[in-house]
């Protein structure tokens, strides 16, 4: 299977809009560097393409239709679809994005250059073989999408149970106490640790949590974390403990700002710290972290976060902005009743996530074989 420079097969351009141009009620998709697709009122593009995030959380999407895009999002179109199937390109880029992450440059916000895309060597069988590969991968993707939908349904169930037990926090029909976050924490909030590139090492004495380790998750992922070399003083200052709440304090779009997760239990002999785009708080005993996290997903809380955030190049929220947000504070025994139900839902969700992990492994194996020319007993050149 011959390999061809991607630049000779595609046209690449970037979006023109700022990341904050979205409108939740918009008619068209708005692609930014976030994994989530936003909405917008107008469109500038109408095509079948692959979209690659040019900075931040590098990721790949496929779309066919009317849309708009953030100025650091690459829009890649096939020059001749009889030579390069766009869906085939999409699956190739899903594999290639890991290499893009390795090549990305910059300080706090990593980014990629145009030539990282144009210089990529894509295996190019004939169009019939590409179409066959796409069909196989689409079937595998359908199974993954169905499993994700089941997981999302459980997340919606959690919100439904929350509203049934506690009512809509906006209205507060059960007349729970209402307090600002600054009134329900044990100590002052703190921004995370800024690690220089040279501090990352497999021999590091601490593990570090990034935003990507908890965005769209209820509890922060503490497995497979990168290691850093940190001083004992830094470890003591930035160490997380079970039940701490982590907030995303800067994001390329408003949807990511202020997203929260709690720190789950982990071995006591591990040093786990958190990075500089995160704000940490430690709740008082009157608010359970699991209850707080689910509350943080409600419109009641999200609207407060957005109100206190600021947008320029990036959307940010300060410690004081988070501290001014209000929450309902039901009795701890009722929060505990909710927690028991939540544990059962999370147990079922974990089984689905384990299944999803196996499906993803199978999908990745299929992609590896497809682009090595092994899926249909081809030989790679």
How do residues 120-147 score in pLDDT, each as one tens digit? 999 999 999 999 999 999 999 999 999 9
Q: Each residue of 51-60: pLDDT tens digit?
A: 998 887 788 9
CA distance 330 to 243: 18
Phi-psi region of 219 (alpha: psi -120 to 50; beta: other; left: phi over 0): beta
Which two structure tokens, joined as six digits, stand for 60?
């790949």
Place 378 in a pLDDT band, splitting at 50, 70 and 90.
Answer: low
Strand extents, DSSP E, 187-269: 190-191, 206-209, 226-228, 245-248, 250-251, 260-262
Domains of the chain (ranges; CATH) run: 3-124 (3.90.220.20), 126-174+330-381 (1.10.287), 177-327 (3.90.220.20)
CA distance 106 to 28: 31
Name the more confident of 379 and 69: 69
- Percentage, residues of the chain above pLDDT 90: 75
Which two structure tokens, joined as six digits, stand for 220?
């922060």
Residue 381, pLDDT score: 35
Name the more confident of 224 and 29: 29
Residue 109, pLDDT score: 57
Residue 211, pLDDT score: 86
Average pLDDT, the chain: 91
Q: Which residues are 76's β-sheet partners?
A: 12, 50
CA distance 257 to 215: 10
CA distance 38 to 321: 24
Q: Is the pTM of this model over 0.85?
A: no
Query: What is the 8-class DSSP label of residue 225?
Result: P
Residue 380, pLDDT score: 40
Name the more confident of 109 and 336: 336
- Of the listed ranges 179-183, 254-258, 261-265, 370-374, the least confidently predicted one is 254-258
Q: Judge whether residue 105 has pLDDT over 70.
A: no
CA distance 163 to 358: 33
Which two structure tokens, joined as six digits, stand for 247?
């907030």
CA distance 138 to 226: 32
The average pLDDT across 312-330 equals 91
């Amino acid at each position: 299977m011959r390999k061809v420079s991607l630049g000779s097969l595609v046209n690449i351009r970037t979006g023109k809009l700022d990341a904050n141009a979205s409108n939740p009620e918009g008619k068209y998709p708005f692609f930014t560097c976030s994994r989530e697709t936003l909405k917008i009122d107008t469109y500038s593009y109408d095509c079948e393409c692959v979209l690659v995030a040019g900075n931040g959380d590098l990721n790949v999407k496929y779309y066919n239709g009317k849309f708009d895009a953030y100025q650091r999002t690459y829009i890649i179109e096939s020059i001749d679809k009889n030579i390069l199937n766009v869906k085939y390109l999409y699956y190739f880029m899903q594999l290639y994005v890991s290499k893009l992450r390795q090549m990305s440059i910059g300080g706090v916000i990593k980014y990629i250059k145009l030539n990282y895309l144009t210089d990529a060597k894509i295996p190019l069988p004939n169009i019939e073989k590409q179409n066959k590969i796409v069909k196989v991968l689409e079937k595998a993707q359908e199974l993954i999408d169905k499993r994700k939908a089941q997981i999302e349904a459980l997340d919606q169930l959690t919100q439904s149970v929350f509203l049934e037990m506690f009512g809509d926090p906006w209205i507060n029909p059960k007349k729970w106490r209402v307090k600002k976050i600054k009134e329900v924490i044990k100590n002052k909030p703190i921004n995370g640790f800024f690690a220089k590139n040279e501090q990352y090492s497999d021999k590091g004495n601490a593990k570090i949590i990034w935003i990507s380790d908890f965005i769209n998750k209820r509890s922060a992922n503490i497995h497979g974390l990168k290691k850093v070399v940190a001083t004992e003083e830094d470890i003591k200052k930035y160490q997380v403990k079970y039940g701490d709440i982590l907030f995303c304090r800067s994001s390329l779009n408003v949807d990511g700002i202020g997203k929260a997760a709690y720190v789950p239990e982990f071995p006591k002999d591990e040093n786990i710290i958190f990075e500089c785009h995160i704000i940490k708080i430690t709740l008082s005993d009157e608010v359970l972290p699991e209850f707080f996290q689910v509350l943080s997903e409600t419109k009641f809380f999200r609207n407060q976060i957005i109100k206190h955030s600021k947008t320029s190049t990036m959307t940010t929220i300060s410690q004081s902005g988070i501290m001014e947000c209000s929450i309902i504070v039901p009795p701890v025994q009722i929060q505990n009743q909710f927690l028991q139900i939540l544990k059962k839902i999370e147990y079922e969700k974990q089984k689905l996530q384990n299944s999803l992990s196996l499906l993803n492994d199978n999908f990745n194996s299929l992609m590896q074989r497809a682009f090595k020319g092994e899926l249909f007993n081809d030989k790679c050149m």
